[in-house]
């Protein structure tokens, strides 16, 4: 069955009119028309919560239908607000800690997606919808132009002011030490006590294992780790964990 162009248009107008004058059809049609976008957003919201609460478990890429949702979450302001609230709770807690004068009251920070943002890489690679490309990622790291986050700068500076000893613990390799130091300073971070990077002996270890071992060493040296801030659960779990851990939102990738 074929229609001429004008009869198609007439049919379309009659059909549209039928839909509009029938309240039952029109409300169903309206919800049908709205459904796809809102149900994708709703699913992606559920998925993001499941990822943030570590329910998803190991995952490699975000659900493909959520690329736009995650892009909007990151760029639209809600991510910044979410991080800001985390920073506020961290500062509130830090103020309750009795910091001694011996420099042994420590706070651990992860670097990537915690103090520095590799958003340049994620913008160019589908906000986590494309598989991780270590070569392209390291190109961004080696540029040393990663911006800091307003929230982490605020938290970092508040902790320094309160007298905490700052320990930076990153999955970045030793080879990235100098570019990392310069990038951190350019972004506004200063006065950390040590910067721990992955050495020869740490290759092949999971982040949880490597970071737990490093924290354990720090504790053996007499430090108390009051707080720990990271965007991955592998920054925060394992052993020698901090008294309080603060999970920075990151719906773009998962590191075991």
- Contacts with its own copies by CB under 8 A lie at 42-43, 45-47, 49-50, 52-57, 77-78, 81-82, 84-86, 89-90, 93, 244-247, 249
Angstrom distance (rounded) from CA 171 to CA 173: 6
- Judged by beta carbon, residue 51 or residue 207, the one nearer its own copies is 51
CB of residue 62 vs its own copies: minimum separation in angstroms?
A: 13
Choice between 128 and 238, CB closer to its own copies: 238
Name the residue nearer to its own copies (CB basis): 58 or 101. Answer: 58
| Closer to its own copies by Cβ: residue 55 or 75 | 55
Beta carbon of residue 91, minimum distance to its own copies (angstroms, whole number): 12
CA neighbours within 13 Å on the CB side: how many for 33?
Answer: 7
Q: DSSP for 80-149?
A: HHHHHHHHHHHHHHHHHS---TTS-EEEEE--BTTTB--HHHHHHTGGGTS---HHHHHHHHHHT-PPBP
Work out how close the CB of 88 gets to its own copies at its nearest, in angstroms, rounded to a whole number: 9
Beta strand 105-109 with 165-173 is parallel
Angle formed at CA 192 by CA 116 and CA 150, multiple of 5 degrees:
35
Task: State in angstroms the smallest separation of the CB of 107 from its own copies.
Answer: 15
Q: How far is CA 178 from CA 13, 172, 173, in A?
A: 67, 11, 11
152 in Cβ contact with 183 (< 8 Å): no
C-beta of 69: minimal distance to its own copies in Å? 14
Taking the least distance from each CB to its own copies, the nearer of 22 and 53 is 53
Residue closer to its own copies by CB (options 78, 206) is: 78
Q: What is the closest distance, in whole angstroms, from the C-beta atom of residue 174 to its own copies in the complex?
A: 31
Are 201 and 222 spatial neighbours (Cβ–Cβ below 8 Å)? Answer: no
Residues for the chain: how many in total?
256
């Amino acid at each position: 069955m074929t229609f001429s162009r004008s009869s198609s248009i007439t049919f379309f107008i009659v059909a549209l009119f039928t839909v509009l004058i029938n309240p039952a059809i029109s409300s169903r049609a309206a919800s049908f028309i709205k459904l796809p976008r809102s149900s994708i957003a709703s699913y992606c919201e559920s998925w993001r919560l499941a990822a943030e609460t570590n329910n998803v478990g190991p995952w490699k890429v975000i659900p493909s239908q959520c690329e736009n949702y995650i892009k909007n979450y990151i760029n639209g302001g809600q991510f910044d607000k979410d991080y800001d609230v985390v920073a506020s709770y961290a500062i509130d807690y830090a103020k309750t800690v009795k910091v001694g004068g011996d420099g042994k009251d420590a706070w651990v920070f992860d670097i990537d997606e915690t103090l520095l943002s590799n958003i340049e890489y994620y913008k160019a690679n589908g906000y986590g919808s494309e598989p991780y490309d270590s070569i392209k990622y390291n190109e961004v790291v080696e540029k040393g132009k990663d911006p800091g986050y307003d929230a982490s700068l605020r938290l970092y500076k508040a902790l320094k002011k309160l007298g905490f000893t700052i320990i930076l613990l990153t999955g970045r390799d030793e080879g990235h030490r100098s570019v990392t130091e310069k990038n951190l300073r350019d972004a506004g971070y200063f006065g950390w006590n040590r910067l721990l990077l992955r050495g020869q002996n740490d290759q092949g270890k999971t982040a949880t294992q490597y970071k737990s071992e490093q924290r354990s060493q720090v504790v053996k040296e007499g430090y108390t780790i009051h707080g720990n801030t990271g965007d991955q659960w592998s920054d925060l779990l394992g052993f020698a964990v901090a008294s309080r851990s603060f999970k920075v939102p990151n719906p773009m990738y998962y590191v075991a």
